[in-house]
Amino acid sequence: MKKCLTGIVALGIFVLSTSVWSAGEVMQTDNGGLTSLRGYQQISEVNKSEAMKRVPRDHSTVDRNYVQQPPVIPHTTRGYQVNLNANKCLSCHSFKNAGAMGATKISVTHFETREGTTLSDVSPRRYFCLQCHVTQADARPLVGNTFRPVDSLQ
């Protein structure tokens, strides 16, 4: 009887340990032979991240390619926080601060709601600046592009 009990306990421990082990195992997936911008990579694999691109600290403003283009950012934005409590970008680009900081003012479109009402402060849909404005780095394009600006901007 004693031997039988020990056997059951041992079996219990074995089953428990194997189930814990299999829960920790990463599930393997097959991407079906597709190559993406990440290269030929299984979804379950973590690929090596690329080296961070070097964004120039400060340079003059960049010409726009089309009329409605959000201008690209000619300075680094690393560490600039935009959250519920603070918006670092507005500390230079708001109507109030732009003059003193020598920065371009945000345009009036940034006060408009999607229904077309003009608010007295930045509209929530224009609050997260980096959704539309991006810094530039000297990087190889990921895909080819033959875009040409309209004549009036050339």
Q: Which of residues 7-46 bind ligand HEC (CB under 6 A)?
A: none
3-state secondary structure 15-70: HHHHHHHHHHCCCCCCCCCCCECCECCCCCCCCCCCCCCCCCCECCCCCCCCCCCC
Size of the site for ligand HEC (CB under 6 A): 35
For the record, the structure tokens of 94 come out as 């708001």
Q: Which two tokens stand for residue 92?
A: 């230079």
Within residues 123-152, the interface with ligand HEC by CB under 6 A covers: 125-133
Identify which of residues 12 and 70 has a Cβ nearer to ligand HEC in the complex: 70
* Choices 3-11, 15-23, 39-47, 64-72 (CB under 6 A): range interacting with ligand HEC: 64-72
> Is 110 annotated as ligand-binding?
yes
Examine residue 55 and tell whether it contacts ligand HEC (CB under 6 A): no
Q: How many other C-beta atoms lie within 10 A of the C-beta of residue 92? A: 16
133 is in an annotated binding site: yes
Q: Does 4 carry a binding-site annotation?
A: no
CB-count exposure of residue 139 (10 Å: 0-12, 13-18, 19+): exposed
User: DSSP string covering 90-109, please?
Assistant: HHHHSHHHHHHHTPPPPPGG
CA dihedral defined by 68, 71, 72, 75, rounded to 10 degrees? Answer: -170
Determine if 88 is a binding residue for ligand HEC (CB under 6 A).
yes
Site mask, ligand HEC, residues 90-129, x = CB under 6 A? Answer: xxxx-------xxxx-xx-xx-----------x--xxxxx
Q: Which residues bind ligand HEC (CB under 6 A)?
A: 60-61, 68, 70-71, 73-75, 77, 80, 87-93, 101-104, 106-107, 109-110, 122, 125-133
- Which residues contribute to the annotated binding site for heme c? 75, 89, 92-93, 110, 129, 132-133
